[in-house]
Amino acid sequence: MSRSPIRHEIRAATLADKDDLLALARHLDSVNLPDHEPTIREILEHSERSFSGDIGDPRRRSYVFVLRDLDEDRAVGTSMVIAQLGRRDAPYIYFDVHTEERYSATLDRHFAHDVLSIGYSYNGPTEIGGLVVHPDVRRSNDRLGMMISYVRFLWIALRRPDFQDRVLAELLPPLQEDGTSHLWEAVGRRFTGLTYREADRLSKRNKEFIRGLFPDGDIYVSLLAPEARAVIGKVGPQTRGVEKLLRRIGFRYWNRVDPFDGGPHFIAATEDIQLVQRTCRVVARQAEDGTPLPARALFAVDLDRPPYLRCIPSEYLANPADPTDVRVPAETLRHLEVADGDRVAMLPLDRGPSAAPGRSDGPGS
């Protein structure tokens, strides 16, 4: 098998990636990326229609990205952006976590109770999710996990009007060895009669059963089993690295959790996310042989035809007088199929004097 000068590429996922995404889903099996062939097919079909613009309402679009190892001709990572979480036909459902204080003067006793209050939003935030990196490459020196995570923010920056003013990330909490949720067993299963997996998959298509069967009143955490109390708002071991990344780029815990498993919700104003701020359009020129290229970035072209997005990591050198004028290797231009001096999107992976500032407000800016 011949080796490409560019080993890893991120692009829009298509139905041709179905088998690879199914293999990746086995390492997560979440509501956004379930280990279920018919659902994966639907997700990919919806994503293709989103990238192509066949889905006219931007709020109903969702985008799946795939990270491919070109030498091995396989997908080694994937991620997703859902343009809007929560609409009239599919509300965003959550538990708010707050504290209620009680005091008895007669007994001179004071208690602070953690309380779960169910909420429904019909005009919710953009959501990032579905992040999976194959175990074989998670410790790669190429920082592949960072790349497939960052591409979502690059895409949001390039299509900023199509996304909401806040971005949500839901992290997995600690789960039982068989993937079951302690919180679901203590709450959800008692009110629905469904297993965690059954409810998770049903909620992808229809959330009516949650409003119909879940209690409207507050749930006092102190009444739950210790195992259920322990996972509310906690980050599981498989997503601690994601939590660090989110906090570093501007996200914070929202005192809000998933009603199924208690996984914490992190939120950020879209304009305040560092990766959105740092994405910009640059003029890419071929570097002369021997030119030092000290910085590294994701470079991308967005297209109106498949693969809709082509994104690769590359070294570069920014012009000190104009940071949006950069020099890149010849193979970077060739792989992106652009000419010397064309404009491309860029998201610096390094912070420093050669990292280009600014961001784009649309595909043509």
DSSP 92: E
Please provide residue 263's backbone torsions phi and psi, each rounded to the nearest 5 degrees: -65, 140
Task: Give me the pLDDT at residue 28, please.
Answer: 66
Band the pLDDT of 355: cuts 50, 70, 90: very low
How many angstroms separate the CA atoms of 172 and 170, rounded? Answer: 7
CA distances to 18, 70, 81, 315, 325 from 24, in Å: 10, 17, 17, 28, 37
* Residue 106 pLDDT exceeds 60: yes
Domain boundaries, the chain: 86-123+165-278, 279-348
Per-residue pLDDT reduced to its tens digit, 210-255? 999 999 889 999 999 999 999 999 999 888 888 999 999 999 999 9
DSSP string spanning 214-235? S-SS-EEGGGS-HHHHHHTTPP
Contact 78, 67 (CB under 8 A): yes
Mean pLDDT of 143-162: 95
Answer for the pair 64, 78: CB distance below 8 angstroms, yes or no: yes
- Distance CA(265)–CA(235), nearest Å, equals 10
Q: What is the pLDDT of residues 275-317, one digit of tens each?
A: 999 999 999 999 998 899 999 999 999 998 989 999 999 999 9
In angstroms, how far is CA 82 from the centroid of its own chain? 8
Say what the pLDDT of residue 351 is.
60
Helix-strand-coil split of the chain, %, nearest 5: 30, 30, 35
Note the pLDDT tens digit of each residue in 309-344: 999 999 999 999 999 999 999 999 999 999 999 999
The pair of structure tokens assigned to 260 is 């199924």
With the CA atoms of 362, 17, 143 and 2 taken in that order, what torsion angle do they form, in degrees rounded to the nearest 10? -110
Torsion 246-62-212-166 (CA) sign = positive
Question: What is the sign, positive or negative, of the torsion defined by CA atoms of 180, 184, 189, 190?
Answer: positive
Q: Mean of the pLDDT values across residues 184-203? A: 91
- What would the two tokens of residue 54 be? 């066949």
- The whole-angstrom separation of Cα 285 and Cα 296 is 15
**Which amino acid is it at 343?**
R
Q: In angstroms, rounded to a whole number, what is the distance separating the alpha carbons of residues 58 and 116? A: 32
CATH of 279-348, one of 3.30.420, 3.30.70, 2.60.40, 2.40.40: 2.40.40
